[in-house]
Amino acid sequence: MKKVRHIQSYLLFSLFLFFIFTLKAASLSQPMVNTEPSPASKPGEERVERAIEVIKELASLKEEGIPARLLEKAQGIAIIPGVVKAAWGIGGQYGRGIVLVKREDGRWSNPLFIQLIGGSLGWQIGVQKADIVLVFKNRQGVENIASNKITLGADMSVSAGPVGRSAEASTDLEMEAEIYSYSKSKGLFAGISLKGGTLRVDREANAGFYGADHKASSILYENVKAPSVVEKLHSTLKELSGSTQK
């Protein structure tokens, strides 16, 4: 019984410290990018604006940025600004972002709003806030999110993506992993990993942005009417990938 009480005390203490770290994460709540979006006329527009700034910044880093050739080959992309991770033995992560699929005609779809949620046990301590970009090798990964959810590292492999000039100069750049990840972080975290995080559809955010409760597949593959900020998002992705597709 004494051993059980010790275990219970440890778990309660770990949970208490975890919540302390979560509160500390609020000090990292300033946007990772230097942007102040114009007032959104619809819910979700600010999230899209932040996603645009995140992908522009991560793609513009000369030595650690996302290669334009990789964006050109990508069949899907998720942009999740401000993912917060906090842990003291017991850990958690949460973020809200968007995911797009590249349609068969080469055009990017409307953004589908998603959530990144995860928890973990093991040696880990710290707090971090990070802007994250996931580049998908094929459409299936995005379609799996739309139909239900995916767990990173379990349903699909995730690896740190190739970066910088050497990758950009490669004439045979191939996507070996199912998902490549890129991030810019603020804070300290020991044992950090995206593996185990679950990506799922944020139905409430989608309904607010599109004005109706559309199916996730309809948002991705049908011409659902969207706010004008989506055109800005598409233009940014085309520019960063060097695409000439109109």
Whether 27 has a pLDDT exceeding 60, the answer reads no
DSSP string, 35-55: --PPPPSSTTHHHHHHHHHHH
pLDDT at res. 19: 47
Q: What is the pLDDT of residue 195?
A: 72
CB atoms within 10 A of CB 226: 20
Q: Which has more confidence, 176 or 21? A: 176
Domain boundaries, the chain: 2-241
Lowest average pLDDT, out of 21-25, 91-95, 111-115, 186-190, goes to 21-25
- Which pair of tokens denotes residue 12? 């309660």
Average pLDDT for 27-48 = 60
The average pLDDT across 129-138 equals 91
Least Cα distance to 54 among 243, 199, 246, 236 occurs for: 236
pLDDT category at 177 given cuts 50, 70, 90 is confident
What pLDDT sits at residue 221? 96
Q: Which of 61-70, 77-86, 216-225 has the lowest mean pLDDT?
A: 61-70
Q: Which residue has the tokens 């000090």?
A: 27
> Between residues 77 and 195, which one has the greater pLDDT?
77
pTM of the model as a whole: 0.78
Residue 164's pLDDT is what? 54
pLDDT at 187 over 70: no
Residues 2-26: what's their mean pLDDT? Answer: 48
Measured CA to CA in angstroms, residue 136 lies from 70, 148, 176 at distances of: 10, 17, 11
Asked if pLDDT for residue 123 goes beyond 90, the answer is: no
What does the alpha-carbon distance between residue 81 and residue 178 come to, in Å, rounded to a whole number? 21
What one-character DSSP code corresponds to residue 174? -
Pairing of strands 158-160, 179-190: parallel
Average confidence (pLDDT) over 162-175: 52
The pLDDT, as a whole number, for residue 189 is: 46
pLDDT of residue 143 exceeding 50, the answer is yes
Copy the structure tokens of residue 42.
Answer: 């619809």
141 class by beta-carbon count within 10 Å (0-12 exposed, 13-18 middle, 19+ buried): buried
Q: What is the pLDDT of residue 245?
A: 55
- Please tell me whether residue 3 adopts helix, strand or coil conformation: helix
- With a cut of 70, say whether residue 219 has pLDDT above it: yes
The rounded mean pLDDT for the chain is 78
